[in-house]
A and B are shown apart, each in its own frame.
Chain A
Amino acid sequence: MSDSIFAMKNVSSEEISLKNLSVQFGGVRAVDNFSMTLYPGELVGLIGPNGAGKTTVFNLITNYIKPTSGEIFFMGKSLLGKSPDEICRMGISRTFQNIRLFPQMTAYENVELGLHNVPHYSLLEAFVRTPRARRAEAETRKRALELLEMVNLKDFAGERASSLPYGLQRRLELARAMATSPTLLLLDEPAAGMNEDECNELVKLIRQIHEHMKYTIIMIEHHMNVVMELCKNSRIYVLNLGSLLAVGSPKEIQTNPQVIKAYLGERKHARYNSNAGSQ
């Protein structure tokens, strides 16, 4: 069903591909034979009921969890055996389902960290702060503020991250992820806990970032409106019990009986259809 999308792309330019990825915790297969290929600049959704293994896929990509079998290639290089920080420096950045900012650092410092994950000057220069080091710091500062501006958090630069309201913390996490200058962005439920207005704003923000920065994005999301809206020109992967249930455009997913059955349960079937019809 998504063959048409694949056919348009040049195979050799794929950004990331997961090949037959599986991971087992005890006797449970949290992810089972999952494959996925993304081309530069794509924004795809990853949905599925709770416990379907969506976050586990992100943890596998960042090698926070080691896969039992399967392979992951990012820009043609295997990610297996690389540490999470190496993977980040290769150009994959992520946000977290349960926000994980550095709570006692300011919003500005949180973003700045992503920029200097590898310090821009030597340790000796750090002790005496040479002009070169100072220039590097000024450059970092400028870039951090630009990123804060991009997510409309400029006014909160000096606030402690833990004191920011929930919605702003999510946006700050996004800015921090962007600071590591990724080419692939993994967003883990960016709209979790947001009301409809906030969701709409987030959709706008993500679209803006996506277009502006030319990121490739994989987004896990429970808010159907957000996923359907952002992925309307691309595709959505549906995970269930660790394995791929369906992949296709939002339209195809919405009408896929298997998805509706697994994702929403038999009883909600009718209600969901009426919702979808009204959209």
Chain B
Amino acid sequence: MGYLNAIIILGGINIIAALGVAIITGYTGLFTIGHAGFMALGGYACAILVTTFHVPFAIALIIGGLFAGLCSFIIGVPAFRSQLRGDYFAIATLGLSEAIRLILNTTYKVVGGAFGFMGMSNLTTVPVVVIAVILALFFAHMFVTSQYGKNCIAISQDEVAAQMMGVNLLRTKLIALFISAFYAGVAGGLMGFYMAYLSPSFFTITRSSDLLAAVVFGGIQSLIGPTITAFVLVAVPELLRVFSEWRLIVYGLLFVIIMLFRPQGLLGYVEMNFAFARRWWNAVFTPHQAKQGTIKGDQ
């Protein structure tokens, strides 16, 4: 039972962080390999708030997420201002996450340095994680189907055209990055209160690669795909310990193979809003109804 709980909790945490990556990489088309850094920011902030300032766990999680979101602007503003260069952003995310790890590793005063931050109780239980995942999915869905989310999708498809059609690139990307970092921060907070301690070694580039893997395998422009793969990627290696040495090798090869043969991933472009329902609606749609403006295709 304990083992199953562990899988559900770690899988759920991975889902929330992966949803963050899905928003920025899957929907906005910005490659990130540094989301572990945002997890660390949220995790440590949440841990300090609860243990030192006795803030209620739920509120600390949200503040931790907001903190990660605000910190994302450190790279978001300089990287997005130089337009059309997704590469800058990718390198900046990697740089930021390494910088965060370095600071945490060498600052012994507040955050415990390389020994890690200890003294948290086990507040992240299965019900907490399940509720958090449901909320995370719901709000992610609301965002990506909103006009904000659609602007993000347009940017991922053709940045120049989106700008020429009046979309403010900097603002739209910063919003997506903020939300994405918020998700990662909340996931980090949940993780700290499951493990009962936090260590800089939790938040290496390997974790960032794992999150990216969930999105690449699950599918570009999909929430449900990364949700499934984020869970499976936690559950399967836990079940098959032998596999662990080969895990990243297989991930890497799958990245290449998926990009070559099925770049949309497992469920790319499949949305929870049932796009097929809209297509069906369009098929039976008559011009007469259009004038009344009663299209409910995606509701």
Contact = CB atoms under 8 A, between A and B. Distances in A.
Is there a contact between chains A and B in the complex with CB atoms less than 8 Å apart?
yes
A120 interface: yes
B198 to A, nearest CB: 28
Contact of A119 (B148, B157, B282, B285): B148
14 contacts: A85-B166, A108-B282, A114-B165, A116-B147, A116-B151, A117-B166, A118-B168, A119-B147, A126-B148, A129-B142, A141-B295, A145-B290, A158-B282, A179-B165
A104 interface: yes
Contact of B142 (A64, A116, A127, A136): A127
B20 to A, nearest CB: 15
A113 B167 CA distance: 9
Contacts of B283: 158
Given A93-B165, A117-B168, A142-B295, 10 more contacts: A85-B163, A109-B150, A116-B147, A119-B146, A126-B142, A126-B149, A145-B290, A149-B287, A157-B282, A180-B165
B142 A117 contact: no
A93 B158 CA distance: 16
How large, as a class, is the contact surface on chain B?
Answer: 35 or more
Summarize B's interface: helix, strand, loop or mixed. Answer: helix
A157 B148 CA distance: 21
Contact of B162 (A109, A112, A113, A126): A113
A179 B290 CA distance: 17
B161 interface: yes
A96 B162 CA distance: 12
B147 A126 contact: yes
Interface of A: 62, 64, 83-85, 88-89, 93-94, 96, 100-106, 108-109, 112-114, 116-121, 123, 126-129, 133, 136-142, 145, 149, 154, 157-158, 176-177, 179-180
A149 B142 contact: no
B153 A85 contact: no
A182 to B, nearest CB: 9
B82 to A, nearest CB: 13
Contacts of A96: 161, 164
Contacts, number: 119
Contact of A112 (B139, B150, B279, B285): B150
Nearest to B283: A158
Q: Which 4 A-B pairs have the closest CB atoms?
A: A158-B282, A117-B166, A142-B293, A126-B146
Nearest to A140: B147
Contacts of A83: 163
Given A127-B139, A127-B143, A154-B290, A104 B150 contact: no
Residue of B143, B147, B150, B295 with highest tally of chain A CB at under 10 A? B147
A136 B150 CA distance: 14
A103 to B, nearest CB: 6
B165 A113 contact: yes
Interface in B117-157: 139, 142-143, 146-151, 153-154, 157
A64 B163 CA distance: 10
